[in-house]
Amino acid sequence: MRQIKEHIALIFFSLTILLNSCNDKPGLDKNKVEYIEIRKQGDTISLRLTNAQIDDLIDNINKSRLKGLTKYLPEYTLTVHLKNDSVISYGTSKNLIKQSDDKTYVIEKAEFFRALWLKQAGLSDNWFEYFPIIMGDNGLTEKKGTVDRELIENVKKVLTHYNHNWTDIRGQLLYEGPIDKELLWNYTTKANDSGWISDHK
């Protein structure tokens, strides 16, 4: 009986250690950080955060809660440069953040990383990246990934025709919005219509 109790106690102790390791925070010590950069997926330039943004980011990361192991294509990469010359990289999407082990944490603020990048790019959070809208089995959906350069140029013409503000940041088209999905589908259709483009030069 004593052996069974000891065995149960050992299992409980092991599970406690495992649980604690799974729930640990991806904590960052502000005093050890030299600087932090953010880079948008597909962009070639990393933007350095201000000290105030670094403080806010670290506070949000340290308050994050564990979501579990997840797979997602990062929208932004955060690179934390430490004073000891080492580097920590995080992949982020919406309000999710993880390192290469796929252990994912949730930031309380929705679209936190998008707003951070937009501000460093000199834009308000009322700007959105253009992706083609296609009609699929489940209705209208965004076609994520690399967008054809000719289509981008044609979409610019469509947006200009309908008096929408847009900007091109190193090949990535952003528009001031929001613009609803049906209207973006209409714009995508026009951009793919060589006749419409020819008539609206």
**How high is the mean pLDDT in each 10-residue block of the chain (201 residues)?**
56 45 65 95 92 93 90 93 94 91 90 93 94 88 85 96 96 94 95 92 77
Tell me how far apart the alpha carbons of residues 133 and 158 are, in angstroms, rounded to a whole number.
Answer: 14
* Number of domains within the chain: 2
Same domain, 131 and 115: no
Edge-first strand order for the sheet with 127-129 is 127-129, 172-176, 166-169
Same domain, 47 and 111: yes
Residue with tokens 């700007």: 127
Same domain, 107 and 89: yes
Same domain, 95 and 115: yes
Q: Could you tell me if residue 185 is inside a domain?
A: yes
Residue 1 pLDDT: 58
Q: Provide the CB-side half-sphere exposure for 177 (13 A, CA).
A: 15
Same domain, 116 and 135: no
Q: Last residue of some domain: 87, 120, 153? A: 120
Which amino acid appears at position 179 of this protein?
I
Same domain, 108 and 38: yes
Closest CA to 103 of 57, 78, 63, 70: 70
Task: Count the neighbouring beta carbons within 10 Å of the beta carbon of residue 138.
Answer: 6
Domain range for 187: 127-199
Same domain, 61 and 137: no
Q: What is the pTM of this model?
A: 0.77
Q: Could you tell me if residue 99 is inside a domain?
A: yes
